[in-house]
A and B are shown apart, each in its own frame.
Chain A
Amino acid sequence: MTQETLRVLFVDDEERIVSLLRTIFRQSYEVHTATSGAQALEIIAKTHIHVIVSDQRMPGMLGIDLLSRVRQLSPNTMRVLLTGYSDLAAIVGSVNDGEVFRYINKPWDHSEIKAIVAQAAEIARTTANAPVLVNSEAATLKAPALASAAEILVIDDNADVINSITGMFHNVYGVHGARNIAQAIDILEKHDISVIITDTHVSNEDTTQLLRILKTQYPLILAILLTEAQDAETVIKLINQVQIFRYANKPIRRGALQLSVKAAVNQNVLYKNNPALLVRHAVEAAPETALTNSLKVSIMNGLRALRGRFAFLREA
């Protein structure tokens, strides 16, 4: 078994950072470095890169813009954002436009960065030739809807939100509304849900725990976060632990949300057809302490019914 050389690209405007990263990774990977976005794109154009790790704040081109370009030029390249600057707009962009795999804070933890790069590289290797969807706004607009009848679950304690989303999609998809997590689990048991639209908190319960368990156990379901909260930390956590598919701000912007849902439904169809791809959205192991045990138990019990439905995943 000849192991393919795995290529990693580090981008940072600070020379010393990239040289340090080179030192760290050069024994395990073929390391490429760039000190600007333009330089990085040149390398991407010439060489197939498995993992790109980019700084956010760089002259000329921001990290998030670079990753968006990379997603379109080389969709199979796993994208990681590395920055010390928590700028919400950048983070939201990294979700919606960059579909980043991970978000690493500077200064990084030595073993963490090694593990993330290793995981990303492994995923890139195994899914190198798998089909991909380029979910850019323009591409999603043009793309044909892959599913005609998908089921959507909206979890929100505000009935108005559920009603307006139902009104927006009921012609195309089956829309289910849940006012709390118990209702949501009930609906998940009975229906084959493809996309979940939810806030960070519903009826004073943290939905992150539900999403995290769902993502670990049933990664086919895509999550769209619809929230008023503008907390960069929360979004980072949701990227790394839940792999939320899209981030949308309340109040709802119809066009943006419709695009997000369409992209999510298409992605869901793609996963069903190519379960191998799911590894691309693997999430961080959840810190166990963060979970309330009782809640976890109730969620797990509630989701037992789902296991049968996704049995094929374990075989795959």
Chain B
Amino acid sequence: MSTDVKKREISSGMQRNINIAIAVVLVAILGFLFSKTRNVDFDAHNDVISNLRQLKQIDAEWNIDVFKSKMGINNNYDPVAQPLPVIRELATGLTQKTVETGESAELDTMLKSFQEIMAKKIAMIERFKSQNSIYRNSTNFLPTAYDDVIATAKRIGLSAARQAELEATVNPVFSETLSYNLTPDAALKDKLTQQLVTLRERAEQYPLEVKESIEVLIAHIGTTLKQQDIGASLLNELSALPTAKKIDELSDAYSKTHETRLLDQQFYRQLLIAYSVFLLALLGYLGWRLIRSYRQLGKVNGALTQANRELKESQMQLVQSEKMSALGQMVAGIAHEINTPLAYVKGTLDVMKEHLSKVHDLANSSHLFATSLRDKNADKNELNTQYLQVATLSHDVVKNKRFEELDSMLSDGTHGIGQISEIVINLRNFSRLDRASVANFDVRKGLDSTLLLARNLLKHRVTVQTEYLDVPDIMCSPSQINQVFLNIITNAAHAMGEQGTLILRTERHDEKMIRIEIQDDGGGIPSSVLPKIFDPFFTTKPIGEGTGMGLSISYKIIEAHGGKILVDTEKDIGTTFSILLPIQQKQAAAGIIEDDDPVDLQPA
């Protein structure tokens, strides 16, 4: 039975663990779905998109600024350098946002290539800036260089004709260069290159100082031409960089990803709703089960309460029936004990009645004879007949020893009545119904009267030995203690079977307790039975013969007296029940009960 309980406990423990695991899984699924629906960060997405838009705009403006610089509309480079920090900041922000929102790898590479292109563009613009500054320097210096040629010719005192000739030679080159700077044309460039060669040849004809200033002019024009080419190619390259496209692509990709996310979110939201519905249904089902369980529990509890009450009632009935059964056995035994003396007292009286009728006859006839003898007129024959009758009757009485028999029958009858009264006295002593329920009691007398009651059970089978040591009277309920004695002695008698010896002992246990031992030499109590003997309803007797309440009640009685029952048993040797009882009971009624009306003890 205990293993069953353990198994049930283990299985219920397992069930509990499984339930907890299921609950955790359900909550985890709920959390997962919930996080999935919360995943799409609209702010981040909007930030990214607006960043990209801003970038695109700045990029476009930048391009325009670059062109402006190239055209010389912008005289300083601030507009060209201005977008740089903004672009960097935006790019960095973009990267951060992307990392934060955990975008796809595809977006990542796109972002990287965009950044590379952006870096290239920045580098190119740097190069353009430096190239353009060289170009601008040379261009700005051209008029000065031209003036210097004219001034040098004038200073050294070149002839007016030669001066005019020089001016006519240099001036077209100078003006052509200026016009090329405004509209860089390949034909014009070829023409200029040609004119420069011609100019360098003609310069040989002029004095050294003039020649040197012409050569300075030529160098500057060359630089202008060269830088104009480089600037043009840089601008070409710059405009070829697909930054705007990249930004658009990136923006598209972002939007697409965002859309996918939105779709995902919608899916998960639906899933979450479905799951919530499922959970609700589950919860409803569990609630229903719980209610049903509670109802069932209530029902079972009711049944249990009922069963418990019935059990208590039936236990009370059993206690009662044990009393009745013990009483019934006792009554049957006592009836038999009384019956035997009763039988011969009655028989004796019947026989005595017969005898007495003979004596009565004798007395009557004697009286008649005596009267007749006095009568002088009495008939002799009559007297003779009367005499013969008296003689016969007296002979019968004497010969048959009727008086002796009467005497012995009288003493037998008295003996029988003595036996009956002894039994009655014992009964009275045993029950003590006519005495105080708690009294000073000599347990030896209790044992003796119990033995007499159990005599019917013990007679012819069991030899009883009493080994009483002097014990003081104890305060107890004699009828209850006698009940215990009778129960244990009855059990001992049953244990001994056909033959046996029952030993009763009394002794002083210690200052406060006395000890009573009831020892049999029966089969002993098996060790499997021993722990249960004081349990209610436990019996080894066949159904219907023992209620199993005897020893349980005995135990309670002794316990209520503040005593103890000890059992010592050995197989095939016998069993000894030892009862320890206190000499004094605890004073229960020592308190004083106050009356309602106090008595005035003071003299008036």
Residues of A within 8 A of B (CB): 13-14, 16-17, 19-21, 23-24, 27, 57-60, 84-85, 106-108, 110
Q: Which residues of B contact A58 (CB under 8 A)?
A: 460
| Other-chain contact of A16, B351, B415, B461 (Cβ < 8 Å) | B415
Chain B residue at minimal CB-CB distance from A14: B340
Q: Which residues of A contact B405 (CB under 8 A)?
A: 23
A59-B459, A107-B344, A108-B347 known; 4 new pairs, CB 8 Å cut-off, are A19-B412, A59-B461, A84-B335, A110-B347
Chain B interface main SS type: helix
Chain A residue at minimal CB-CB distance from B348: A20
Q: Which residues of A contact B400 (CB under 8 A)?
A: 27
What separation, in Å, do the CA atoms of A133 and B409 have in the docked complex? 42
- Report whether A16 and B416 are in contact in the complex, using a CB–CB cutoff of 8 Å: yes
What separation, in Å, do the CA atoms of A219 and B343 have in the docked complex? 34
- Whether A14 touches B344, Cβ cut-off 8 Å, given contacts A23-B351, A23-B405, A110-B350, is yes
Q: How far is the CB of B485 from chain A (nearest CB, A)?
A: 24
Can you report 20 residue pairs joining A to B where beta carbons are below 8 Å apart? A14-B340, A14-B344, A16-B344, A16-B412, A16-B416, A17-B340, A17-B344, A17-B347, A20-B348, A23-B405, A23-B409, A24-B347, A27-B400, A60-B460, A106-B343, A107-B343, A107-B346, A110-B346, A110-B347, A110-B350
Q: Which residues of A contact B351 (CB under 8 A)?
A: 20, 23-24, 110
- Report whether B339 and A106 are in contact in the complex, using a CB–CB cutoff of 8 Å: yes
Q: How far is the CB of B161 from chain A (nearest CB, A)?
A: 173
| Other-chain contact of B343, A27, A57, A60, A84 (Cβ < 8 Å) | A84
A-B pair count, CB < 8 Å, reads 56
Chain B residue at minimal CB-CB distance from A106: B343
Q: How far is the CB of A35 from chain B (nearest CB, A)?
A: 12
Q: Is B383 an interface residue (CB 8 A)?
A: no
What separation, in Å, do the CA atoms of A84 and B344 have in the docked complex? 12
CB-CB nearest 9 A-B residue pairs: A59-B460, A110-B350, A84-B339, A107-B343, A107-B346, A106-B343, A20-B347, A16-B344, A20-B344
Q: Which residues of chain B from 325 to 349 have a CB within 8 Å of any chain A CB?
A: 335-336, 339-340, 342-344, 346-348
- Report whether A84 and B340 are in contact in the complex, using a CB–CB cutoff of 8 Å: yes
Q: How far is the CB of A13 from chain B (nearest CB, A)?
A: 8
Q: How far is the CB of A192 from chain B (nearest CB, A)?
A: 44
Q: Which residues of A contact B342 (CB under 8 A)?
A: 106-107
Q: How far is the CB of A164 from chain B (nearest CB, A)?
A: 27
Q: Which residues of B contact A106 (CB under 8 A)?
A: 339-340, 342-343
- Contact mask B458-486 → A, CB, 8 Å, 1/0? 01110000000000000000000000000
Q: How far is the CB of B220 from chain A (nearest CB, A)?
A: 148
Q: Which residues of A contact B348 (CB under 8 A)?
A: 20
Q: Which of B339, B344, B351 has the most CB of A within 10 A?
A: B344
Q: Which residues of B contact A84 (CB under 8 A)?
A: 335-336, 339-340, 343
Count B interface residues, CB 8 Å.
Answer: 21
What separation, in Å, do the CA atoms of A20 and B411 have in the docked complex? 12
Q: Which residues of B contact A21 (CB under 8 A)?
A: 347
What separation, in Å, do the CA atoms of A19 and B339 have in the docked complex? 17
Q: Which residues of A contact B415 (CB under 8 A)?
A: 16
What separation, in Å, do the CA atoms of A84 and B342 have in the docked complex? 10
Chain B residue at minimal CB-CB distance from A55: B340
What separation, in Å, do the CA atoms of A106 and B346 have in the docked complex? 10
Q: Which residues of B contact A20 (CB under 8 A)?
A: 344, 347-348, 351, 409, 412
Q: Which residues of A contact B409 (CB under 8 A)?
A: 20, 23
What separation, in Å, do the CA atoms of A57 and B350 have in the docked complex? 24
Chain A residue at minimal CB-CB distance from B345: A107
Q: Which residues of A contact B343 (CB under 8 A)?
A: 17, 84, 106-108
Q: How far is the CB of B436 from chain A (nearest CB, A)?
A: 35
Q: Which residues of B contact A107 (CB under 8 A)?
A: 339, 342-344, 346-347
Q: Which residues of B contact A110 (CB under 8 A)?
A: 346-347, 350-351
Q: How far is the CB of A296 from chain B (nearest CB, A)?
A: 34
Q: How far is the CB of A83 from chain B (nearest CB, A)?
A: 9
Q: Which residues of B contact A17 (CB under 8 A)?
A: 340, 343-344, 347
What separation, in Å, do the CA atoms of A24 and B350 have in the docked complex? 9
Q: Which residues of chain B from 206 to 253 have a CB within 8 Å of any chain A CB?
A: none
Q: Which residues of B contact A14 (CB under 8 A)?
A: 340, 344
What separation, in Å, do the CA atoms of A106 and B339 have in the docked complex? 7
Q: Which residues of A contact B340 (CB under 8 A)?
A: 14, 17, 84, 106
Q: Which residues of A contact B416 (CB under 8 A)?
A: 16
Chain B residue at minimal CB-CB distance from A16: B344
What separation, in Å, do the CA atoms of A225 and B328 have in the docked complex? 29
- Report whether A85 and B336 are in contact in the complex, using a CB–CB cutoff of 8 Å: yes
Q: Which of B335, B339, B342, B415 has the most CB of A within 10 A?
A: B339
Q: How far is the CB of A116 from chain B (nearest CB, A)?
A: 14
Q: Which residues of A contact B347 (CB under 8 A)?
A: 17, 20-21, 24, 107-108, 110
What separation, in Å, do the CA atoms of A110 and B350 have in the docked complex? 6
Q: How far is the CB of A91 from chain B (nearest CB, A)?
A: 15
Q: How far is the CB of B260 from chain A (nearest CB, A)?
A: 89
Q: Which residues of A contact B460 (CB under 8 A)?
A: 13, 58-60
Q: How far is the CB of B372 from chain A (nearest CB, A)?
A: 30
Q: How far is the CB of A231 from chain B (nearest CB, A)?
A: 16
What separation, in Å, do the CA atoms of A107 and B412 have in the docked complex? 15
Chain B residue at minimal CB-CB distance from A60: B460
Q: Which residues of A contact B350 (CB under 8 A)?
A: 24, 110
What separation, in Å, do the CA atoms of A24 and B409 have in the docked complex? 11
Q: How far is the CB of A110 from chain B (nearest CB, A)?
A: 4
Q: How far is the CB of B183 from chain A (nearest CB, A)?
A: 141
Chain A residue at minimal CB-CB distance from B338: A84
Q: How far is the CB of B544 from chain A (nearest CB, A)?
A: 12
- Contact mask B397-413 → A, CB, 8 Å, 1/0? 00010000100010010
Chain A residue at minimal CB-CB distance from B349: A110
Chain B residue at minimal CB-CB distance from A111: B350
What separation, in Å, do the CA atoms of A42 and B400 have in the docked complex? 29
Q: How far is the CB of B476 from chain A (nearest CB, A)?
A: 34
Q: How far is the CB of A85 from chain B (nearest CB, A)?
A: 6
What separation, in Å, do the CA atoms of A23 and B354 have in the docked complex? 11
Q: Which residues of B contact A16 (CB under 8 A)?
A: 344, 412, 415-416
Q: How far is the CB of B177 from chain A (nearest CB, A)?
A: 148
What separation, in Å, do the CA atoms of A215 and B283 have in the docked complex? 85
Chain B residue at minimal CB-CB distance from A21: B347
Chain A residue at minimal CB-CB distance from B461: A59
Q: How far is the CB of A62 from chain B (nearest CB, A)?
A: 11
- Report whether B336 and A57 are in contact in the complex, using a CB–CB cutoff of 8 Å: yes
Q: Which residues of B contact A27 (CB under 8 A)?
A: 400
Q: Which residues of B contact A57 (CB under 8 A)?
A: 336
Q: Which residues of B contact A60 (CB under 8 A)?
A: 460
Q: How far is the CB of B410 from chain A (nearest CB, A)?
A: 12
- Contact mask B406-439 → A, CB, 8 Å, 1/0? 0001001001100000000000000000000000
What separation, in Å, do the CA atoms of A33 and B344 have in the docked complex? 15
Chain B residue at minimal CB-CB distance from A36: B460
